[in-house]
Amino acid sequence: MNINKYPEPKAGKDLISRMYVALMLWIVGKAIQAASKMDTDVKKEFADLPDNFIMSLGILPEEVYPPNYLTQIMPSFVVDKGLLPLGLNMIIGKDKNGKVRYMGANTHGKKITLRMGIKNLQAAMMVFTFRESTTTAFAHDRFIVNGDLVQGLAVVRILNIIEVYLLPKIITKLAVKRYPKWSEMSPIRKHFLRILIYIRAFTA
């Protein structure tokens, strides 16, 4: 692999990339919460995870990309419910009732059981502009996992499912390693679920 193809970004210089990645993490996080209520495969993946499961996916190094300063001045219900894209982090977990929730971008006060990080902003842009699939990025060692690797792989599978719902097929084929057979379901059903996920993602 030619490491020069993916040079390290200059910290704090690429504001547009940071805003874009923050927005994508927010959209994906909200979509995971919505899909966990409707998609059988997403439900199963979360059912196999521990009751106290809370994961974070962020951009490294953390000291360069800390939580958005707005998280310190916004009301807690805005921050904890992830009502706005406030940082380069995505927190997903189960609440005390076992429901899957998107928990915003600020890890403060949360007992994170699985930490996943994309090594730098450049690598994150490769993933979130769909020039490289999540699975390929994982195989190319662009992710760091601090916690149970089996749980990390479950998260990658969930991300692949979400990308199938969020993106047109022509783009999804770039974003996932193999376009899943289940996605060849009745077009009416698939598009209906896609619409529901979009609605619930942006109204929950």
Tokens coding 19: 């805003």
Strand 54-59 with 89-94, pairing:
antiparallel
The length of the chain, given as a count of residues: 204
Residue 6 has a pLDDT of 47
Distance (Å, whole) CA 29 – CA 24:
8
Residue 42 has a pLDDT of 92
Residue 1 has a pLDDT of 45
Distance (Å, whole) CA 66 – CA 7:
21
Residue 188 has a pLDDT of 63
Distance (Å, whole) CA 48 – CA 28:
20
Q: Which of 175, 53, 27, 28 is nearest to 113 (CA)?
A: 53
Each residue's pLDDT tens digit in the chain (204 positions)? 454 554 554 544 578 888 899 899 999 999 999 999 988 889 999 999 999 999 999 998 765 565 555 555 555 655 566 555 567 889 999 998 889 999 988 887 889 999 999 999 999 998 888 888 888 888 888 999 999 999 999 999 899 888 888 776 666 555 555 555 555 556 666 677 777 777 777 676
Compute how many other C-beta atoms are within 10 angstroms of the C-beta atom of residue 79: 24
User: What DSSP designation does 13 have?
Assistant: T
- Residue 89's alpha-carbon distances to 84, 118, 182, 196, in angstroms, are 12, 10, 29, 25
CB-count exposure of residue 129 (10 Å: 0-12, 13-18, 19+) = middle
Distance (Å, whole) CA 152 – CA 118:
13
pTM: 0.76
Domains of the chain: 13-203 (3.30.1050.10)
For the chain, the farthest-separated pair of C-alpha atoms sits apart, in whole angstroms, at: 47
φ, ψ at 164 (rounded to 5°)? -65, -40
